[in-house]
């Protein structure tokens, strides 16, 4: 059974061709994504952003029913596509490994399941029967079974290795560990990376055969294995710490994926940008300025550095922000997720036409 989405096989072919050309560096314009819902939210079934808010006992097919109603109400413009991912919170791999999972009305977070002991005693192991892992996989299978190649089912938000570790140590204790027990931090990082690759492979084994490509939580799509890698903890790191504790993990994950991206979150991570750009198999960088900071289009120096290094770049921008980026830097190599949603088809089509004209005008 496929979802009743307003997205034809011809739409899918167009999106596949554009994204494939973008990854290959052969698309001479930006990827542009806009979406809107044609049905007011209050008229749709409750489908929270964080799926565990529906509880662990709701049948998987009933969960999928709720989100399918939202998918059927959406319209997609440019290179946007129908997608859904099992959102159990950022860094849910910590829950798979035994951290406490806290579910609140508007968020999910992870913390040590008991007292924080000595880091030398911490041993992280794969557990096929972990309740959170089983639930994520069950929901992923149900979505793929329901939607086949009509909807791209995304990889869950596994998290970054040190972000996962901090869920077992607390962020403050982990910073102390980096100074007091760096050899144990490195031991655990290596283990987390091994497990991360295993969880990714098992998720992809469910998703890949459906033929709807691969997407993470972020606004990127690939016909191959892709992911938005991250290390939010590195906001607090010196470049030397980043090189020692973060870079090896990123390189290992990039080498395992055809299309790896990095989530550069906040100006505190800009100190690491040159190091990131030196990773040969890192295909692109997502720039998120952070709360209270200027909008992405106001960081043209950062966006320019990313593109001059030969990397792709994904940003969330307003229509005006997208115009500024295209006029100042050109659209090639950018993936622009544009919001707020257009009010109707005409507004979306007019914007796409104006953006294309601005890009051609710059050329």
Reference 141, options 185, 206, 204; nearest CA is: 206
Bridge partner residues of 214 (DSSP): 222
Answer for the pair 203, 239: CB distance below 8 angstroms, yes or no.
no
Local structure of residue 311 (DSSP, 8 states): -
**Secondary structure (DSSP) of 285-314:** EEEE--TTSPPGGG-HHHHHHHHHTT-EEE
pLDDT score recorded for residue 363: 63
Please tell me the distance from the alpha carbon of residue 211 to that of residue 241, in angstroms, as a whole number: 40
Q: Which helix (H) or strand (E) holds 262?
A: strand 259-265
pLDDT score recorded for residue 3: 59
Residues in the chain predicted with pLDDT less than 50, given as ranges, are 1-2
CB atoms within 10 A of CB 19: 23
What pLDDT digit, counting tens, does each position of 130-163 carry?
999 999 999 999 999 999 999 999 999 999 999 9
Please tell me the distance from the alpha carbon of residue 13 to that of residue 103, in angstroms, as a whole number: 38
Please tell me the distance from the alpha carbon of residue 239 to that of residue 337, in angstroms, as a whole number: 30
Please tell me the distance from the alpha carbon of residue 360 to that of residue 363, in angstroms, as a whole number: 5
Answer for the pair 155, 200: CB distance below 8 angstroms, yes or no.
yes
Q: How many residues does the chain have?
A: 363
Answer for the pair 287, 27: CB distance below 8 angstroms, yes or no.
no
For 102-140, letters b (16+ CB in 10 Å) and e give ebeeeebbbebeeeeeebeebebeeeeeeebbebbbbbb
pLDDT score recorded for residue 28: 97
> What is the separation of C-alpha 139 from the centre of its chain, rounded to a whole number of angstroms?
18
Please tell me the distance from the alpha carbon of residue 84 to that of residue 144, in angstroms, as a whole number: 10
Q: Would you state the structure tokens that stand for residue 359, as one six-digit string?
A: 């890009």
Pick the CATH number of 47-72+82-213 from 3.20.20.210, 2.60.120.260, 1.20.1740.10, 3.10.180.10: 3.20.20.210
Residues 6 or more apart whose CB falls under 8 angstroms from that of 33 comprise 76, 77, 78, 79, 80, 219, 335, 336, 337, 338
What pLDDT digit, counting tens, does each position of 7-53 carry?
999 999 999 999 999 999 999 999 999 999 999 999 999 999 999 99
Answer for the pair 207, 77: CB distance below 8 angstroms, yes or no.
no
């Amino acid at each position: 059974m496929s979802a009743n989405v307003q997205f034809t096989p011809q739409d899918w072919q167009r999106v596949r061709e554009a994204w494939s050309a973008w990854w290959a560096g052969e698309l001479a314009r930006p990827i542009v994504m806009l979406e809107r819902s044609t049905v007011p939210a209050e008229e749709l079934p409750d489908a929270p952003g964080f799926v565990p808010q529906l509880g662990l006992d709701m049948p998987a097919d009933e969960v999928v029913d709720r989100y399918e109603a939202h998918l059927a109400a959406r319209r997609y413009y440019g290179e946007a596509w129908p997608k859904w991912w099992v959102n159990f919170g950022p860094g849910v791999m910590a829950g798979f490994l035994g951290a406490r999972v806290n579910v609140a009305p508007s968020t999910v977070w992870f913390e040590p399941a008991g007292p924080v002991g000595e880091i030398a005693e911490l041993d992280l192991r794969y557990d096929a029967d972990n309740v959170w892992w089983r639930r994520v996989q069950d929901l992923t299978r149900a979505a793929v079974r329901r939607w086949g190649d009509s909807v791209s089912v995304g990889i869950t938000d596994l998290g970054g290795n040190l972000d996962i570790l901090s869920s077992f140590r607390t962020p403050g204790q982990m910073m102390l560990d980096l100074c007091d027990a760096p050899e144990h931090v490195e031991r655990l990082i290596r283990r987390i990376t091994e497990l991360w690759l295993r969880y990714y492979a098992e998720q992809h084994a469910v998703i890949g055969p459906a033929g709807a490509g691969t997407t993470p939580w972020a606004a990127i799509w690939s016909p191959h294995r892709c992911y938005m890698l991250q290390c939010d903890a590195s906001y607090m790191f010196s470049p030397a710490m980043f090189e020692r504790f973060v870079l090896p993990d990123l390189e290992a994950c990039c080498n395992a994926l055809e299309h790896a991206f990095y989530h550069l979150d906040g100006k505190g991570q800009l100190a690491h940008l040159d190091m990131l750009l030196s990773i040969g198999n890192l295909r692109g960088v997502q720039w998120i300025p952070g709360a209270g900071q200027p909008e992405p289009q106001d960081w043209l120096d950062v966006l320019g550095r990313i593109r001059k290094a030969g990397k792709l770049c994904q940003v969330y921008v307003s229509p005006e922000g997208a115009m500024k980026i295209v006029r100042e830097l050109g659209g090639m190599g950018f993936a622009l997720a544009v919001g707020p949603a257009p009010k109707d088809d005409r507004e979306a089509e007019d914007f796409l036409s104006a953006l294309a004209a601005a890009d051609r005008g710059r050329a």
